[in-house]
Amino acid sequence: MRWWQTAVVYQIYPRSFADATGDGVGDFAGIRGRLDHLAWLGVDALWLSPIFRSPMKDFGYDVADYCDVILHPYRRLLALRRASPALHAGSCRLLEGPAGVLAYERAAGTERRIVLVNFTGERVSVAAHGRVEIASDRAGEGQPYAGVVARGQALVLRA
């Protein structure tokens, strides 16, 4: 059986799930702040309702541009997940990061990976160490992590 055939999938509508900034609109920082609750419930995967750019006449379902979200890093992350025990199984620990940035560490045995995903519209400094193994825009792959995640960029660091 494939993992998704027995997985618990939880759908989140980001605008209403959790508001970390206090402006009345849910955000990625709010989702990030509740990930431990979802893990405690036994959730294996998240399904996010529309996260594409939208004029918001239909609460995000009126998508203006299906390419205006970082889709290609996830394909590359899935490819690495198959080859890397640290991304496929093992422990997962959220790391401190600025609002709008998802940062977590996965470890299996001696293998460790740090995943950084910047959902903001600007460059963000994130404290982490390692070599860039995968970058959504292929920038800096094989190089030491420079401490900054570009706008809309996803990185996997070999710690």
DSSP letter at 145?
P
Nearest to 152 by CA among 106, 114, 115, 101: 101
Q: Is the pLDDT of residue 29 over 80?
A: no
pLDDT for 147: 95
Per residue in 50-70, pLDDT tens? 666 667 677 666 777 655 554
Q: Do the beta carbons of residue 151 and residue 141 sit within 8 Å?
A: no
pTM of the model: 0.56
Per residue in 68-82, pLDDT tens? 554 444 455 555 555
For residue 77, give both structure tokens. Answer: 């992350």
Q: Do the beta carbons of residue 4 and residue 78 sit within 8 Å?
A: no
